Structure 1
């Protein structure tokens, strides 16, 4: 028995700019690899590897339609990223509020 297939985590999958661009393309419409490849200076083999990583992370699904395989965005796993980033939104909101208060109070001394 071989080792189980390694699943990619969402953060690793979106770390690559090519994969992020693929996700943006698929957000507009489902596409076959031939159409996706036209947007990149990469071989279809390279794009296929990126699609496999996105698929392993649960970010895309594939469906065989006739002779082609179409890829579709599955954005649900990105909620993990959104939740992680929401902590930092709160952090920056607090820091910006402190800066605003500092600047406003400092401006009162100038008047």
Structure 2
């Protein structure tokens, strides 16, 4: 697993950041809009967004005078592919163990 992917999973491990990512999955939003939606201050939202930006999960987009944040799908897809590969490997191992057990 790459260092970047480790940081992605670490960022996703925080409940507030996960909630922010879920909210942004429904559509772009400003930090103020996210703070109004979540039980967290705008300052805390800004800090969490910074972490999500650092690992490449969120990017800012200026819309007039407002900065709105959007999810970076490619980074989420990369994390999902890594998890899928691990899951597939474990399924293969479990199938092999089952075959050995049945042959006994």
Q: TM-score, normalised by structure 1?
A: 0.70
Shift of 1:90: 1.6
Shift of 1:42: 1.3
Describe the SS at the equivalent of 1:76.
helix
Is 1:37 the counterpart of 2:35? The answer is yes
Q: What is the aligned residue count?
A: 97
Describe the SS at the equivalent of 2:68.
strand
- What corresponds to 1:4 in structure 2? none
Coordinate RMSD, CA, aligned: 2.6
Structure showing the higher helix proportion among its residues: 2
- Aligned equivalents of 1:90 and 1:64: distance in 2? 40
Give runs of aligned pairs for residues 17-36 of structure 1, distance below 5 A: 17-36=15-34
- Distance change in 2, residues 1:59/1:97 (3 Å): same
- What corresponds to 1:47 in structure 2? 45
Q: Which of these two proteins has the greater Rg computed from alpha carbons?
A: 1
- What corresponds to 2:80 in structure 1? 82
Q: TM-score, normalised by structure 2?
A: 0.74
Gaps of 5+ in 2: none
- Aligned equivalents of 1:97 and 1:68: distance in 2? 55
Counterpart of 1:64 (choices 62, 65, 86) is 62
Shift of 1:39: 2.4
